[in-house]
Structure 1
Amino acid sequence: MKNLLEIKGIDKHFDISGSILDQLKFAGGKVTRKKTVVKAVNDVSLDVHPGETLAVVGESGCGKSTLARTVLGLYRPNRGEIIYRGERIDRLSPSQMLPYRTRMQMVFQDPYASLNPRMTVRQILEEPVRFHNPSLSRGEVKEKVAEVMLQVGVDPVWATNFPHEFSGGQRQRISIARALVLDPEFIAADEPIAALDVSIQAQILNLLMDAQEQRGLTYLFISHDLSVVEHISNRVAVMYLGCLCELAPAGELFSNPRHPYTRALLSAIPRLGGQAGGHTRLSGDVPTPINLPTGCVFHGRCPHADERCSREIPAVMNLGGDVQVACHGVEEGRI
């Protein structure tokens, strides 16, 4: 299967040192200059297949959203390659990226912050269509916007309303409409239901799945909710502290997790009628992306870690069946 998207060895780091004065530190009787860098994504490689939903999971701060924004060109990677349909796009200028903007879209987590409060829904949805399709007439643009609004469940008669006049669920529908209005083939959905009431989440998920079926969309789906991920995804990538721990088909990962961190995550899913005591409690301090631990980033909290784990970064191994794991314990057969 030819990949729609290939992510090869991506690093994304942020310099938060501030001004030169902020970087000056007094230590050992002398003044030194020290930079502070957040290592948000570290050597991540993924392939995304056409028409699939690849979910990316992990705790807050593991680099999921940063990875998605880097893939779409909102951030430029420090290292690595991003290849879309055989073309490398990670070093393109803003003008060179324009043809890919219509093919790659994003749905943001917070519908309150992602919509311009000074624009009506019609203006929000018409703006990208007019920009990327200047040859369309005003009637054609209006017709296209109305069609997409109907598809996401928003009545076109509300097109003159402002975002604050809608509920959270309706706003997220409008955000999805903004992504769909350019007829993309790839959408990065960054926690699209996290800010919504539970009663609305199922509606938005069904909307996303229906749009995927009707339009042949490919999703990079970011979520904390593993129950949702199990339901919606074809494959799942597990990240911890900016690193890829495990990648596997959804059924395989949920039935037979290999990485210790994946096992801990899955053990925390609430299940009705489940037996108590099955939750894996992780010990040790939670490191930060500013001071990454040596070796495996998870070794300080892993119950199976040994001396090798503390000094050597594990390589991602292919275990067959589209399963990839980065763990010394799995490689050595200890886990």
Structure 2
Amino acid sequence: MTATMTAPAGETAAPDTTRPLLEIRGLEKRFSLSGDFLEQLKFKGGKLIREQKRVHAINGVDLEIQRGEALCVVGESGCGKSTVARTVMGLLHPSAGEIRYDGQRIDDLSTQALMPYRRRMQMIFQNPYASLNPRMTIQQTLEEPIRLHHPDWPRQKVADKVAEVMASVGIAQDWGKRYGHEFSGGQRQRIAIARALAVDPEFIVADEPISALDVSIQAQVLNLLMDAQQQHNLTYLFITHDLAVVEHFGTRVAVMYLGRVCEVAPTATLFATPRHPYTRALISAIPRLEDDRPQHIRLEGEVPTPVDLPSGCVFHARCPHADARCREEVPALIASDGGAQVACHAVEEGRLD
């Protein structure tokens, strides 16, 4: 490994508040559809050739997350937002690009070198019915990460920490003896949040943590996450497809389409003055009880497949403002008004206000 740790194992250097907590540069992730080497060999035209097909899930994503903020990543299903989350957490290895945490590159670290960052970075998964081990009691579930990261702690100290984190998320102490299947979806997600908070992280990736819950429970869990952010000074990477949640929860918003970031902006700016054509279509689709709500923008055409990506801007086939440059040249994220960044040739050239 070429990367080295900047602090001894188990310790962290003093944070530099002037730089982003997380930096993603040129991130790409491809999944093979062709199987192993022998399965890739095909006879075509009397010749033996090697045919490889890949899903291009992420295609050159650049993002920064500042300390204390909640960056929401939105987009339709299949746009790559959950893949970004899992790659950031090291559950998937990137095909290209870099991920830096607090200035240190982490995507190429060994498992042992990554352990101090595992404690600082935690994840809340989408499905609370699948993310809890059915063979473990809630007490065991919450003790496991503490024992992993603090093997020298005595039993009583671990038990006290579990009791503290359970109380912080509104979990009754008698839940500890029960198993995950005995709880509702909202209760399980509270347990999952408690598990993430058990090791005192500073950064949490939440991958659609409320989408599997009833609407009546979603607000409770969302408020719990916001309270935890205030109490523990957390930074969030929040993955969602619900724009109403984004408007309520997010500090900034990144809009993704087919593995690329279209627009990044502060939440208020994005909802007041969306710049990218795709963002405008998304915002216009939000149900609102207002007389002056924006007219719904209906996009024509189908979403291209991530197996055969279109040339140029990935949105050009559905964009009413696309021209020859859009079909040939990939747009870069450029600074716009109000602290926003937009990847659109039409905005750059002034063809789209």
- What TM-score range do you get, normalising by the shorter chain? over 0.9
The alpha carbon displacement at 1:141 in A equals 0.5
Alignment partner of 2:173 out of 152, 156, 160:
156
The CA deviation string for residues 158-197 of structure 1, in whole angstroms up to 9 with x for no partner, is 1011100000000000010110000000000000100000
Closer, same or farther: CA 25–267 of 1 in aligned 2, 3 Å: farther
Q: Any residues of structure 2 matched to 1:28-39 within 5 Å, and which?
A: 28-39=45-56
2:256 paired with 1:239: yes
Distance 1:148 1:136 in 2: 16
Alignment partner of 1:103 out of 120, 136, 139:
120
The alpha carbon displacement at 1:13 in A equals 1.1
Q: Any residues of structure 2 matched to 1:108-123 within 5 Å, and which?
A: 108-123=125-140
2:244 paired with 1:227: yes
Aligned to 1:194: 211
Distance 1:86 1:171 in 2: 34
2:297 paired with 1:289: no
**Percent of aligned pairs sharing the same letter:** 64
Distance 1:275 1:3 in 2: 38
Alignment partner of 1:172 out of 189, 214, 220:
189
Aligned to 1:128: 145
Distance 2:36 2:148 in 1: 38
The alpha carbon displacement at 1:134 in A equals 1.1
The CA deviation string for residues 259-316 of structure 1, in whole angstroms up to 9 with x for no partner, is 0000011111111245688211111221111110000000011111111111111111
Distance 1:156 1:218 in 2: 27
2:310 paired with 1:318: no
The CA deviation string for residues 185-230 of structure 1, in whole angstroms up to 9 with x for no partner, is 0000000100000000000000000000000000001111001101
Aligned to 2:345: 328
Alignment partner of 1:89 out of 106, 122, 127:
106
Is the Cα–Cα contact under 8 Å of residues 29 and 58 in structure 2 kept in the other structure? Answer: yes
- Which letter does structure 1 place at the counterpart of 2:346? G
Distance 2:199 2:318 in 1: 45
The alpha carbon displacement at 1:8 in A equals 1.0
Partner SS for 1:55: strand
Partner SS for 1:102: helix
Distance 1:9 1:125 in 2: 36
The alpha carbon displacement at 1:252 in A equals 0.3
Partner SS for 2:224: helix
Greater Cα offset, 69-78 or 270-279: 270-279
Closer, same or farther: CA 276–209 of 1 in aligned 2, 3 Å: closer
The alpha carbon displacement at 1:21 in A equals 4.3
The Cα RMSD (Å) is: 1.3
The alpha carbon displacement at 1:56 in A equals 0.3
Partner SS for 2:256: strand
Aligned to 1:266: 283
Distance 2:186 2:233 in 1: 24
- Which letter does structure 2 place at the counterpart of 1:185? E
- Which letter does structure 2 place at the counterpart of 1:215? H
2:87 paired with 1:60: no
Distance 2:177 2:51 in 1: 52
Aligned to 1:210: 227
- Which letter does structure 1 place at the counterpart of 2:44? A
Distance 2:79 2:254 in 1: 12
Distance 1:117 1:75 in 2: 24
Closer, same or farther: CA 329–277 of 1 in aligned 2, 3 Å: closer
Distance 1:89 1:230 in 2: 31
Structure 1 residue runs of 5 or longer lacking an equivalent are none
Aligned to 1:145: 162
Aligned to 2:44: 27
The alpha carbon displacement at 1:137 in A equals 0.9
TM-score (norm 2): 0.92
Is the Cα–Cα contact under 8 Å of residues 19 and 103 in structure 2 kept in the other structure? Answer: no
Alignment partner of 2:322 out of 305, 309, 314:
305
- Which letter does structure 2 place at the counterpart of 1:139? Q
- Which letter does structure 1 place at the counterpart of 2:256? M
